[in-house]
Amino acid sequence: MCGIAGEINLSTNVVKRNFLLKKLSHRGPHHEAFIKIDNNICFYHTRLKIIDLSDKSNQPMISYDKRYTISYNGELYNYVELRKKLEKFGFFFKTNGDTEVFLNGFIKFGKNFFKIANGIFAVAIFDKKEKILYLARDFIGVKPLYYSLHKNNFFFASEIKAIINNISHKKINKSVINEFLFYKYVSGKDTLVKNVYKLDPGKAYSIDLKEKKIKLKSFTYYQFKESANKQNIQETTLNIKALLTKSVNLQLQSDANLGIQLSGGVDSTLVTEIASRIKKIKFLYFSGFGDYKKDEYKYANFVSKKLDLKFKKNILEKNFFFKNLNKAIYHLDEPLNHPHSLAIYQISKNAKKNVSVMLAGEGADEIFFGYERYLQILKEKNKINFIKNGAFLRTKKDIEIYSIFKNEEFGDPHVNRNKIYGNINIENELIKFQIFETKTHLQSLLLRSDKMMMANSIEARVPFLDINLFNYALNINDKIKKNEEQKIILKKILSQFNYPKNFISRKKIGYTIPFNKWLETNKNYEKDLKTEALLTLFKNDDVNFLIEDLKNKNNMYSNAKIYWLLININKFINIFDLNIE
């Protein structure tokens, strides 16, 4: 919906920094504003108009008594219900949007409001009377929020690029390079930029400006509650269908045009099917790869014809992929971990002229046990070690090649994830693993979805990650999760909408880009890998070894992965002008 940013400086008066608005303009092309709330704090906001398109809902927004100021990015899906509740408490509203509901909800309930806020959000609220700044993210982490603290100067923003110019010495964070190479993502609060951190999902933070030193205090407002669910598969299917339908209905709320990202898989098909029965969907978007056989175009096309909906096919060609790689890295604020980030970027680029909101099926695999690797985990006797050493994510050859580039200076690749796993106080081992996945792997998918869509001013929404659906789905009976037919519940729901068996029960294809095929004609391995940055970080002999293997087309499946990560690290360092010494 928007881009937010702010600064606290306890040493001197804050001043307007125009580059902050410029760096976030793609997140909010319709309005931008700066407000100096007090001598030591200011907010920035760029708005993408979705709910209440009038200027009355522009931000930052100030409360009726001038005490509170909000800068908010996201959507409060239950805002209509909450507005009615607040009106009964005597609150009045000047707008028809959700931002004012969020602000008044916080005024009434304080930090406890985050517990009843069903939505996706990153928010900053300043209490001028108490001189306290509050920051929070939604329970699952759909909307990003970063911060940097140096002495008595604190910055926060929706994207790293809005913060990075305020850091005196911009450095690559070497301590997490091993983790990125092994897992393709940095988990927890760390980022690949030193001294820039992520705020945790499901938490609210506060900074008291009355104190002489900036201290970031946290409050966990969301904690998953484990409960025994003995419902059979029929009862579970009925409840999941009802919860998903309610979620889709809430997430279709928009005063701006809306579309759906349809891959042709079970998840996005269900979202499309349910949505089309609630509201007229004008636009469906699919990304494919021309003559490449590993996409699901024929299934997506089947859905569009079944529902009589407009269907826009995007073909991701090699030239577009490499031409836009730098742009995608810039917008992600990280090296690209997933090559198919470019496919999402292309969809958003082509869809922008028609829509400002896009629904997708993200999150279904994590909460309904949909990945093949999950079946592998079920078979392991020592599940904890199998999870903690990352073996469930990598082949033996992957690990062998990764070990060549592993450097003790770049930190333990598993330490962040092991800490996350250890802090999950859940007895059921399947649920514990699912929560672990939502705090690690899913975070990279949500970041990709948000940044690649918002690069072209489109808000990504994820109905499967509705808080009520999430809480119920994770507590589903273990026997149902372990069913040989993965995501059996979703398939049963889809069958109720008259989809043929060969559509429902086909093997999962996944979203695979023909990157290895494109590499077959690459003649620039030395140019790509023998760069100043990479030769400073890694041994020359190891880089040469990889180059020769690639030239000889040895172990291309695993070598292509490490090549992809290395060229992305190099581009990331250059794009953001990071020091690597």
Domain ranges, ordered by start, for the chain: 2-220, 233-380+413-504, 515-575
Dist CA 410 CA 539 (whole Å) = 13
| Signed CA dihedral, 311, 316, 321, 323: sign only | negative
If you ran DSSP here, which 8-state letter would residue 91 be given? Answer: -
Return the beta strands (E) in 221-353 as ranges. 258-261, 283-288, 311-315
Q: Report the greatest alpha carbon distance in the chain.
A: 73
- Distances 155 to 75, 170, 208, 502 between C-alpha atoms, Å: 23, 15, 14, 52
pTM (2 d.p.): 0.95
Q: Regarding beta strands 197-198 and 283-288, do their DSSP bridges make them parallel or antiparallel, or are they unpaired?
A: unpaired
Backbone angle region of 21, left / alpha / beta, with phi > 0 → left and psi within -120 to 50 → alpha:
alpha
CATH number of 233-380+413-504: 1.10.150.130, 3.40.50.620, 3.40.50.300, 3.30.930.10?
3.40.50.620
Ordered per-residue pLDDT tens for the chain, 581 residues: 799 999 999 999 999 998 899 999 999 999 999 999 999 999 999 999 999 999 999 999 999 999 999 999 999 999 999 999 999 999 999 999 999 999 999 999 999 999 999 999 999 999 999 999 999 999 999 999 999 999 899 999 999 999 998 887 899 999 999 999 999 999 999 999 999 999 999 999 999 999 989 999 999 999 999 998 888 999 999 999 999 999 999 999 999 999 999 999 999 999 999 999 999 998 999 988 766 566 788 899 999 999 999 889 898 999 999 999 999 999 999 999 989 999 999 999 999 999 999 999 999 999 998 888 887 787 777 777 777 767 667 777 888 888 888 888 898 999 999 999 999 999 998 899 999 999 999 999 999 999 999 999 999 999 999 999 999 999 999 999 988 888 999 999 999 999 999 999 888 776 678 888 888 788 889 999 999 999 999 999 999 999 999 998 888 888 899 999 999 999 999 999 999 97
Residues 6+ apart with CB under 8 A from 448: 332, 337, 338, 341, 344
Dist CA 64 CA 53 (whole Å) = 21
If you ran DSSP here, which 8-state letter would residue 455 be given? Answer: T
* Residue 201 exposed, middle or buried by CB count within 10 Å (0-12, 13-18, 19+): buried
Same CATH topology for 2-220 and 233-380+413-504? no
CATH 3.60.20.10 fits 2-220, yes or no: yes
202, 103, 235: which is closest to 467 by C-alpha? 202
Do 204 and 111 touch, CB atoms closer than 8 A? yes
Residue with token string 């581009």:
571
The vertex-245 CA angle with 247 and 200, nearest 5°, equals 25
